Structure 1
Amino acid sequence: MKKLFILIALVAITGSTFAQAVDLRRKIEVSGIAEKEVTPDIINVSISLQEYLDGKKKITIDQLESQLESAVKEAGMPKEDFTINSVSAWNNTWNKKKTPDFLASKQYLIKFHDLNKYNQILNKVDPKGIQSTNIESFDYSKMTDLKKELKIQALLAAKEKAGYLLASINDKVGDAISITEVDNGNYQAPRPMMYANKALMANAAPAESDIDFKTIKLSFQINAVFEIVNK
């Protein structure tokens, strides 16, 4: 009999605990989305310089690098925005019959906040020494603030949606019960390319850039659960 009373007591306690754990509030679950497109204001461009032979005279990588460094400095760009990416040397097969010398090359990375300076810089470098240029990546300087702004807008959009849905059945939105951020805030900017062919540039200065930079698009989604209250 004693064991029976203990069992009944345990069942009663378990039932009471279960009843307390059940959330009997009326709820509505909705999602909100906020999107925005921005024009990238940071463009990382790689520039590859290569030694070449002008008759019997070699135009060295040091000479080309000095021209590029001076051009970057004259453009008013900070030192930290101009770095060396890689250094290499190989036997140029095109000139192999004329000379067995190895021709060195260097690749530099320049962070542009104003792409108009691109032409300004390349116009001051020997065009025969420019092997190629390439846009490596884009970024937006106020990305962190923009992400915060979009997340807030997405949450407000979710609450607004809950509001007009409930209004149609004469109810209204109560407090938020849960808020979940959907991890879809990653973005991928387009990567237009610039390539300066050495042969074409041999007798001409770098052409004006006509690249149309597409915008970076960000999108955030927030899922939220709100309590339903009577009007």
Structure 2
Amino acid sequence: MKRLLFAFLLAGYTFTINAQDNMAKDPVKKIEVTGSAEMEIVPDEIYFSISLKEYFKDEKNQKDKVTIDVLEKQLIAAVIKAGFPRDNLTIKAITGYRNWTGKKKPLYFLESKRYVLKMNNLYKSDVILDEVDDKGIEFVNIDHVDHSQIKDYRKEIKIKALQAAKEKATYLLESINEKVGDILMIEELDDQFYAPQPMMMSNVRMMKAGGDAAPMEDSSLEYQKIKLSYKMKAAFKIK
């Protein structure tokens, strides 16, 4: 039994020595580099947030409540009138507030709904807000922005990052009279997607109630661009 165990150990030792000898005789010369690339794109999808809230026409006596259903129908009709498909409007959140009397008896309950409308033209928001009851609009803002071809742009920038890695390896090796060989390894290091929200626009009516808000005047409003940034690590043989 001892002789058999010794034979196995000897075989393993011999194999290790042979492998190390082969690596020493024919080492793989390689270079590892990192390439990066960036791209900024103008968003073509704007997600406009609109919050509607129930209210009383007679606030003092809490009578004649304008319900959320009435306000929602106004909003849907306004969205269609502005030329957007009904499916572009979705509900993001539903909240409510109940006022209680000192006798633990509910006085009234007011519901609010927050909607998000997918748009490609923000200036039509003015048309939409004009069609909805002023007092029923709680607030509006930009929820977020995106681009319809973002996946294609991501592929493009990753390719550019990998190409940058090969270009770097090429000029580094040329500086020492060497050449780039076959690819050995590719690794993604960073996958960054930065889409800042545009600033809240003071000329879009944040609260129409009272009729003090002014219509949009500046038609040259610009958004911060979506920034894509990627890094790719690659290893190449040295010829």
> What's the TM-score, normalizing by structure 1?
0.81
Whether the 8 Å CA contact 1:119–1:209 is kept in 2: the answer is no
Letter in 2 for 1:181: E
Letter in 1 for 2:179: K
Aligned-pair CA distance for 1:151? 0.9
Task: Name the counterpart of 1:14.
Answer: 16
Residues 21, 71 of structure 1: CA spacing in aligned structure 2 closer, same or farther, 3 A cutoff?
A: farther
Task: Name the counterpart of 2:150.
Answer: 143
Residues 92, 43 of structure 1: CA spacing in aligned structure 2 closer, same or farther, 3 A cutoff?
A: farther
Whether the 8 Å CA contact 1:127–1:206 is kept in 2: the answer is no
Residues 57, 178 of structure 1: CA spacing in aligned structure 2 closer, same or farther, 3 A cutoff?
A: same
Q: For residues 27-72 of structure 1, give each alpha carbon's deviation from its aligned partner in whole angstroms, at most 9, with x where no partner exists.
A: 1111110100111222222211122333464433333222111111
Aligned-pair CA distance for 1:146? 0.9
Aligned-pair CA distance for 1:103? 3.1
Task: Name the counterpart of 2:43.
Answer: 40
Aligned-pair CA distance for 1:206? 5.9
Task: Name the counterpart of 1:97.
Answer: none
- Percentage of matched positions with identical amino acids: 44
Residues 12, 61 of structure 1: CA spacing in aligned structure 2 closer, same or farther, 3 A cutoff?
A: closer
2:110 to 100, 103, 110: 103
| Count of residues paired in the alignment | 220
Aligned-pair CA distance for 1:224? 0.8
Task: Name the counterpart of 2:230.
Answer: 220
Residues 227, 209 of structure 1: CA spacing in aligned structure 2 closer, same or farther, 3 A cutoff?
A: farther
Residues 209, 131 of structure 1: CA spacing in aligned structure 2 closer, same or farther, 3 A cutoff?
A: farther
Q: For residues 64-85 of structure 1, give each alpha carbon's deviation from its aligned partner in whole angstroms, at most 9, with x where no partner exists.
A: 2221111111122122211223
User: What is the alpha-carbon distance in structure 2 between the residues aligned to residue 89 and residue 162 of structure 1?
Assistant: 61
User: What is the alpha-carbon distance in structure 1 between the residues aligned to residue 22 and residue 127 of structure 2?
Assistant: 72
Give the superposed CA RMSD.
Answer: 2.9
Q: For residues 159-209 of structure 1, give each alpha carbon's deviation from its aligned partner in whole angstroms, at most 9, with x where no partner exists.
A: 111111111111111111111111x213232123358553x6322456318
Whether the 8 Å CA contact 2:141–2:206 is kept in 1: the answer is no
Letter in 2 for 1:180: E
Residues 126, 214 of structure 1: CA spacing in aligned structure 2 closer, same or farther, 3 A cutoff?
A: same
User: What is the alpha-carbon distance in structure 1 between the residues aligned to residue 193 and residue 133 of structure 2?
Assistant: 37
> What's the TM-score, normalizing by structure 2?
0.79
User: What is the alpha-carbon distance in structure 1 between the residues aligned to residue 217 and residue 29 of structure 2?
Assistant: 60
Letter in 2 for 1:45: F
Whether the 8 Å CA contact 1:178–1:225 is kept in 2: the answer is yes
Aligned-pair CA distance for 1:212? 3.7
Whether the 8 Å CA contact 2:76–2:86 is kept in 1: the answer is no
Residues 87, 168 of structure 1: CA spacing in aligned structure 2 closer, same or farther, 3 A cutoff?
A: closer
Whether the 8 Å CA contact 1:133–1:194 is kept in 2: the answer is no
- 1:187 is paired with a residue whose SS is strand
The alignment status of 1:50 with 2:58, answered yes or no, reads no
Whether the 8 Å CA contact 1:127–1:205 is kept in 2: the answer is no
Task: Name the counterpart of 2:28.
Answer: 25
- 1:117 is paired with a residue whose SS is helix
Aligned-pair CA distance for 1:128? 2.0
Residues 84, 206 of structure 1: CA spacing in aligned structure 2 closer, same or farther, 3 A cutoff?
A: farther
Aligned-pair CA distance for 1:92? 7.0
Task: Name the counterpart of 1:190.
Answer: 196
